[in-house]
Amino acid sequence: MRIGELAQAAGMDVDTVRYYEKAGLLPPASRGANNYRSYGDAALQRLRFIRNCRALDMSLPEVRVLLDYIDQPGADCSRVDGVVAEHLGHVRERLASLKTLERQLELLQQACSHASPQEVCGIVLALSQPQGDAPASPAVRGVHSQ
């Protein structure tokens, strides 16, 4: 199949297929007499695998380790397990960071007093404070310190 057909079947853009090929994640395609790239089912399976890894937010170096394992039948899969374990650790760190962010935004929202046009909004007032200064409203204490 040609690159456009491959990209469509894999659910990605042609530019992404070209990028993966240039990055060495997808072996170079054979070229026909017309100099068009020609891909087989193996390329499609590999692109689907890469897409699934990327959907899990794996980096390209992480994907490369998994592809290296696929390319070496009978290899020890401990590196694959290590990559997934490390990635899981990063995901857990991001989740903890997002929970902190969520709490900060909840505290900011509590500062909202639905100010009339003549008053200053509690959220805007709290966000206007210098980093580390005590927030104007007790409801937003800790927003800058977390």
Cβ-based neighbours of 51, under 8 Å, separated by 6 or more: 10, 11, 12
Residue 57 backbone class (left: φ over 0; alpha: ψ -120 to 50; beta: rest) = left
Among candidates 120, 123, 143, 121, which has minimal Cα distance to 132? 143
Among 1, 40, 42, 3, smallest CA distance to 22 is for: 3
- Which tokens belong to 144? 């800058």
Mean pLDDT of 13-22: 96
Phi, psi angles (nearest 5°) of residue 36: -80, 145
| pTM higher than 0.75 | no
pLDDT tops 60 at residue 144:
no
The listed CATH number (2.60.40.10, 1.10.1660.10, 3.40.50.300, 1.10.10.10) that belongs to domain 3-56:
1.10.1660.10
Q: pLDDT tens digits, residue range 22-37?
A: 999 999 888 888 888 8
pLDDT tens digits, 74-114: 899 999 999 999 999 999 999 999 999 999 999 888 888 77
pLDDT bucket at 45, cuts 50 / 70 / 90: very high
Q: What are the domain boundaries of the chain?
A: 3-56, 88-140
**DSSP-derived secondary structure for 57-110:** T--HHHHHHHHHHHHSTT--THHHHHHHHHHHHHHHHHHHHHHHHHHHHHHHHH
- 40 C-beta neighbours (distance < 10 Å), count: 11
